[in-house]
């Protein structure tokens, strides 16, 4: 495993942070924050587990009407409340569906920060099982991160293993990372 310090501007980009703050504040003002946070987690999980949904959201050729139609159908099918449904509608209207996952991550990161937790961004080649998730939380607790909230993403480019980013610290146990380190070592030996 390699641990490196990686410069990082923030958990998400400025645009995603602004949208995340807007949703968080809206849900808080309406007294629906716990419900909205649960729905945000469920939608984030649905996005991370569905290749088709990720491809659809990333499609830049989609026009506003298509985005609105699909986002309305998706929100209805998943049974989400009015606050998140209208918020995703605004995201679709503003042609920001490719940023939806980052915005949802921003909402979860903001909530974690306000509760005093550290956010760990976990990227793995395959979705984590419940057992792997609990083992990872135990390892992070041993490393001094006792209050950790995890956001998970699936990235087939890792080939195997995972990367865990907490702030500017990156723990890399991925096969792709090992191959890169091996390639760099070979260059240094030549």
Question: pLDDT of 81-134, one tens digit each?
Answer: 889 999 988 988 888 888 888 899 889 888 888 887 888 889 999 988 999 999
CA separation for the pair 44, 55 (Å, rounded): 14
Return the CATH fold of 14-113: Peroxidase; domain 1 (1.10.520)
Beta strand segments in 75-125, E: 118-124
**pTM of the predicted model as reported, rounded to 2 decimal places:** 0.64
Residues of CATH 1.10.520.20 domain(s) within the chain?
14-113
- Residue-wise pLDDT for 26-83, tens only, equals 999 999 999 999 999 998 888 888 888 888 888 877 777 877 887 888 888 888 888 9
Strand order in the sheet with 2-5: 2-5, 169-172, 162-166, 118-124, 148-154
Q: Is 7 helix (H, G, I), strand (E, B) or coil?
A: coil
What is the residue-averaged pLDDT of the chain?
Answer: 84
């Amino acid at each position: 495993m390699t641990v490196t310090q990686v410069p990082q501007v923030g958990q998400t980009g400025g645009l995603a942070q602004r949208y995340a703050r807007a949703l968080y504040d809206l849900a808080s003002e309406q007294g629906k924050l716990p419900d909205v946070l649960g729905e945000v987690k469920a939608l984030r999980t649905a996005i991370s587990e569905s290749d088709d949904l990720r491809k659809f959201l990333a499609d830049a050729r989609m026009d506003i009407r298509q985005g609105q139609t699909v986002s309305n159908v998706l929100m209805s099918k998943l049974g989400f409340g009015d606050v998140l449904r209208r918020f995703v509608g605004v995201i679709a209207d503003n042609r920001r569906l490719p940023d939806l996952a980052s915005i949802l991550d921003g909402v979860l990161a903001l909530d974690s920060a306000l509760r005093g937790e550290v956010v760990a961004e976990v990227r793995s080649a395959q979705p984590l099982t419940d057992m792997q998730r609990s083992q990872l939380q135990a390892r992070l607790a041993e490393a001094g991160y006792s209050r950790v909230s995890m956001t998970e993403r699936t990235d087939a480019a890792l080939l195997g293993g995972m990367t865990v980013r907490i702030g500017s610290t990156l723990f890399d146990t991925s096969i792709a990372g090992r191959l890169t380190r091996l390639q760099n070592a070979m260059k240094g030996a030549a």
